[in-house]
Chain A
Amino acid sequence: MAKGYLDIEDDIAAIATAPGAGALAVVRAAGPGSVERAARAFSRPDALRALDGYRAAYGKIVDGDGRAVDEVVALVFRGPASYTGQDGVDIMCHGGRASTDGVLSALEAAGFRRALPGEFTFRAFYNGKMDLARAEAVGELVAARTAASRADALSRLSGGLSRELAAIKASLVRIAAAFALRLDYGEDEAPEDIASELPALREARDACLALADSYAVGRALLDGSVVALAGAVNAGKSSLFNRLLKDERAIVSSQPGTTRDYLEAELDLGGLPVRLVDTAGVRDSADPVELEGVRRSRLVAGGADAVVYVVDATAGLRPGDLAFVEADPAAIRAWNKVDAAGAAPAPAGWIPVSAATGDGEAALVAAVRGALLGGASADASALASGAPPISARIGTARHREALLRAAASLGDAAEAVEADEPVDMAAVDVAAALEALGEITGETTGEDVLESLFSNFCVGK
């Protein structure tokens, strides 16, 4: 049985507000360990831990690498006086997908599982926070939504993906059978050393990791990505925005600071759906409206899948520019206005472009696509040429998380075998890996493992 509603001790999280560009959004977290887990993703963990129910703390959500994702207000609930009856945290963050996704990812990094549809409500009922009439509605919702999400999940599994998953699962079942052989038969009947399974364990772990890595590609294809244009005031971001968009959406002006808030537009970037965001220029300003715009731009850039940092070639590199690219080495560096008189040659690592003439646009687009596809440029060109994708990709964070867990467990198993831990201990890790994979492929039962054992090994007196 895959992770489900009845895992009521799991700490879960989900975006609780409707999708869209509201000013504020709420990411809801619940579960017995939710406050502690949320504290681990919070810039002021002790402040959060110390809170009584219905008390809030201000701070930043930080991701697994310790980088700030968003400034938030976290409201703590203490069970049973809460919606679900369990401890919980409502995190109020900035609206828009970049921000909410960032907060949710940071919570996942802290160990939260994404909530299933209706799961908070399910817990509310389970813990007696709701009467039966309402609960029956919830029940129907759970049943209906699960059916829908199952259909959805199935449709996500492309032929290539299900083939790759099936291959990983088959090798895992065979490994589990090799372990079961040593659990179920004595040394005199099944004498081989379990260390002979080490290469298979490592191979399966690597296959899980490789498939998990394809998440970036899969997500970029399925959900689209956010690409932010950043740079100093008047570096020509809006001109570049319009060049990429091929219309006059942004207000282009030679007065610094014209783009006070940020603009965004959807476009097709060589086959990838992309939401391009033009941020306000980065500079010190006293204008409060513009200050707010700059602040939000920085936030957007922080939550973007790729950032194009634009520099005016006629102005050259300024300390602010250097500081930005140093802080975000993954940023794509655009050396703009190369057509203008007095333009300096592009330094190494900078892509020469001209928003005015379109020179260098192809190279810039290729760089952005490369960044979004996680370096899978061969695939990207195949995509652009309309050829079918070469390898399978996963498209959901849930899949990625399950694959990473499977890989981690397989790594633990290999480590235990290497450390000469007994085979029954390492077998626990193999079982954990199978269960994690089962969340994508469907459960593997003990019978499946025994079936593999009996067909692959000659056993029995």
Chain B
Amino acid sequence: MDYEVIVVGGGHAGIEAALAAARLGRKTLLITQNPDTIGRLSCNPAVGGLSKGNLVREVDALGGEMGLLIDATTIQYRLLNRSRGPAVQAPRAQADKSAYAAAARLAVERQPGLRVSMDTVTGLVASADGARALGVVTERGRRIGARAVVVASGTFMEGRIFIGEHRAPSGRLGEAAAVGLGAWLRAAGFPVGRMKTGTPARVKASSVDLGALEIQPGDEERRPFSFMNDEMPGPELPCRITYTNERTHAIIRANIARSPLYSGDIVGKGPRYCPSIEDKVVKFPDRDRHQIFVEPEGLYTDELYLNGLSSSMPEDVQEAFIRTMAGFEEAYVVRPGYAVEYDYVDPVDLYASLESKRMRGLFMAGQTNGTSGYEEAAAQGIVAGVNAALSVAGEPPLVLSRADAYIGVLIDDIVTLGAKEPYRMFTSRAERRLALRHDTADRRLTPIAMRVGLASKEREERFRRKVEGMDAVRELLRARRVSQADAARDAAFAPHVGEDLARALADPRIAELDVEAIEPGATAFPREWVEGVVLDLRYEGYVAKEERLSARLGKLDAARLPPDFDYAAVPGLSAESLEKLSAARPLSLGQASRIPGVRPSDVALLAVRLAAGARGGRP
């Protein structure tokens, strides 16, 4: 074997996969079409956002790279949804795009045990029976052996770009598609399909009257994404807001037939949650304007990103409708918006470890699995990399549950339900979202990283200090009794006299107060720890309610099903369930119960079988 793990692709999934495998001691090769493009942010110049910020923090808590990269290259930071509850708050940072990619490239290049090679993978090397991946074949005819292969091809696998009537075989504007691997997978029987995504035009900042736009400032206080960072320095560049108007919409309507989306040229399914501007205009004709966020692409570029204006209309149309917006009358388009269509492999073909069901040793991550988003890609990347490394070592895979992490929700969703459109993480997809707050990612996942071996000594030490510190804060609040004097000072305390403060904090009126003023002992601890404890106490009741609602989730997910379980031998199973279960081969009763078409009574029958097996009966 030349390598133990080969990672195909140097995007956000490939980076995490390659780093994780190498950090777990596996001799790893990252193959990319161009090392200069490692870690590129192909679309918006931002990392994080609702539920995506949680994913970044989870990747970080597992020992991943994304949090460190964005912390180092931020040009604006915001905690979203301060006015809403803690479960729907999340950090988002604007990135200096070129600095981000450079930092990513450097992290990969400096990682011991990880090599980078410039080439294009056109096929896999498989065992004679096709059941095991043994390496890759490249464009230049190289055969490179490995015990595990992670495919993270992004939008490059048979990528095709659309701008009005223009078509080009590219994965990103100006970058060649990776031709060959998609065809190889199709020929080998993998369920390969087409998906589509899009990006807006970039315009020259100095051609825009920025003074005419509403400014959207960042937060003064920045909380790093990475648990390893205490601060997040860096410059502050404002984002701005403008709006489309009836004239914009009129131009789009007049030219709609020239959109490849509406001419029927694009067969891939696009994301509903990130519609192109032409989609928004057609689907919501009553809206007289749409909000457009104007975001800087970085410190050393004059390009602006027009968030909300994704389009694949012809370039002249794009420039015309952009110029209808206030401040954009003279705007000059540097790069047009475009749509890109690419091959993906239906993720129902994967186990929750992200290993292929049809080919052992083959893992897939990111847009290859029909997801979208940098954060979603990184989340799968780290899991695929860890599991590729564990499979080489002959160890059982790391599978995060829906109750553990957004990562668990994401992977369970795609491997159970498949991806019919580009899958994006949403807060509402997580049943246990109150427990999956972004600020609890380290508490939830760092113990797992420690077990797997991805947490550095320094991380372990910091983590131990934080856990002990939060315990101490909790003790402090428990020991502090609410007194008559408190009630005299603030009427909110009146109903709680005699209670301990930890208990009284469930009352929103108390939780609003400054805890450090009530219990000065708390000032000895970092503010973030105190806030974490207060949030835990404040929402305990709701978290318990949420837990009751999804109690079954944990129990059923804990009941493991072997991948080779013989469903045909279970008496009484309905024909439909038998077919669905045999095809999906779920790894837990919970996953089985979520497969569309599998009946609850059939899940009960499986439970009987499992219980019998566990007691030494016939499995």
Given contacts A186-B50, A424-B84, A432-B545, contact A460 B428 (CB under 8 A): no
In whole angstroms, how far apart are the Cα atoms of A75 and B611 in the complex? 29
**Number of A-B residue pairs with CB-CB distance less than 8 Å in the complex they form:** 170
Question: Hey, which chain B residues are within 8 Å of A128, CB to CB?
Answer: 611, 615
Residue of A whose beta carbon sits closest to that of B83:
A187
Question: Hey, which chain B residues are within 8 Å of A420, CB to CB?
Answer: 508
Asked if B518 is at the interface of the complex by the 8 Å CB criterion, the answer is no
Contact with B along A106-150 (1 / 0, CB 8 A): 000000000000000010011010011001101110111011000
In whole angstroms, how far apart are the Cα atoms of A13 and B587 in the complex? 32
Question: Hey, which chain B residues are within 8 Å of A435, CB to CB?
Answer: 549
Whether B273 pairs with A6 at a CB distance below 8 angstroms is: no
Q: Nearest Cβ distance between residue A129 and chain B, in whole angstroms?
A: 11
Asked if A421 is at the interface of the complex by the 8 Å CB criterion, the answer is yes
Asked if A268 is at the interface of the complex by the 8 Å CB criterion, the answer is no
Question: Hey, which chain A residues are within 8 Å of B426, CB to CB?
Answer: 180, 183-184, 450
Question: Hey, which chain B residues are within 8 Å of A350, CB to CB?
Answer: none
Whether B290 pairs with A458 at a CB distance below 8 angstroms is: yes
Question: Hey, which chain B residues are within 8 Å of A432, CB to CB?
Answer: 545, 549
In whole angstroms, how far apart are the Cα atoms of A7 and B274 in the complex? 38
Whether B434 pairs with A428 at a CB distance below 8 angstroms is: yes
Given contacts A142-B604, A188-B216, contact A7 B44 (CB under 8 A): no
Residue of B whose beta carbon sits closest to that of A186:
B80
Q: Nearest Cβ distance between residue B94 and chain A, in whole angstroms?
A: 13
Whether B433 pairs with A183 at a CB distance below 8 angstroms is: yes
Taking each of B599, B601, B611, which has the highest tally of chain A beta carbons within 10 Å of its own beta carbon? B601
Interface residues on chain B, size class: 35 or more
Whether A421 pairs with B508 at a CB distance below 8 angstroms is: yes
Asked if B491 is at the interface of the complex by the 8 Å CB criterion, the answer is no
Given contacts A125-B608, A139-B605, A140-B571, contact A458 B283 (CB under 8 A): yes
Asked if B612 is at the interface of the complex by the 8 Å CB criterion, the answer is yes
Asked if B520 is at the interface of the complex by the 8 Å CB criterion, the answer is no
In whole angstroms, how far apart are the Cα atoms of A223 and B47 in the complex? 61
Partner of A6 from the list B216, B429, B552 (CB cut-off 8 Å) is B552
Contact with B along A394-431 (1 / 0, CB 8 A): 00000000000000000000000001111111011101
In whole angstroms, how far apart are the Cα atoms of A66 and B83 in the complex? 45
Q: Nearest Cβ distance between residue B282 and chain A, in whole angstroms?
A: 11
Whether B88 pairs with A6 at a CB distance below 8 angstroms is: no
Question: Hey, which chain A residues are within 8 Å of B603, CB to CB?
Answer: 1, 4, 6
Whether B287 pairs with A458 at a CB distance below 8 angstroms is: yes
In whole angstroms, how far apart are the Cα atoms of A424 and B431 in the complex? 11
Question: Hey, which chain B residues are within 8 Å of A424, CB to CB?
Answer: 84-88, 427, 433-434
Whether B605 pairs with A182 at a CB distance below 8 angstroms is: no
Given contacts A184-B51, A461-B307, contact A132 B605 (CB under 8 A): no
Question: Hey, which chain B residues are within 8 Å of A132, CB to CB?
Answer: 612, 617-618
Question: Hey, which chain B residues are within 8 Å of A5, CB to CB?
Answer: 600-601, 604, 607
Q: Nearest Cβ distance between residue A340 and chain B, in whole angstroms?
A: 62
Partner of A4 from the list B81, B290, B600 (CB cut-off 8 Å) is B600
Q: Nearest Cβ distance between residue B364 and chain A, in whole angstroms?
A: 22
In whole angstroms, how far apart are the Cα atoms of A461 and B424 in the complex? 13
Asked if A24 is at the interface of the complex by the 8 Å CB criterion, the answer is no
Asked if A347 is at the interface of the complex by the 8 Å CB criterion, the answer is no
Asked if A185 is at the interface of the complex by the 8 Å CB criterion, the answer is yes
Residue of A whose beta carbon sits closest to that of B594:
A1
Q: Nearest Cβ distance between residue B433 and chain A, in whole angstroms?
A: 7
Asked if B255 is at the interface of the complex by the 8 Å CB criterion, the answer is no
In whole angstroms, how far apart are the Cα atoms of A425 and B572 in the complex? 41
Which A residues form the contact surface with B (CB < 8 A)?
A: 1-2, 4-7, 9, 122, 125-126, 128, 131-132, 135-136, 138-140, 142-144, 146-147, 179-180, 182-189, 419-425, 427-429, 431-432, 435, 446-447, 449-450, 453-454, 458-461
Told that A136-B571, A142-B605 touch, could you supply 17 new A-B pairs with CB distance under 8 A?
A6-B600, A142-B572, A143-B605, A146-B600, A179-B428, A180-B426, A183-B428, A186-B50, A187-B81, A422-B84, A428-B542, A431-B431, A432-B545, A435-B549, A453-B428, A460-B308, A461-B308
Could you list 11 A-B pairs, sorted by A, with CB under 8 Å? A125-B608, A140-B572, A179-B428, A184-B426, A188-B291, A420-B508, A424-B433, A431-B549, A458-B284, A461-B44, A461-B308
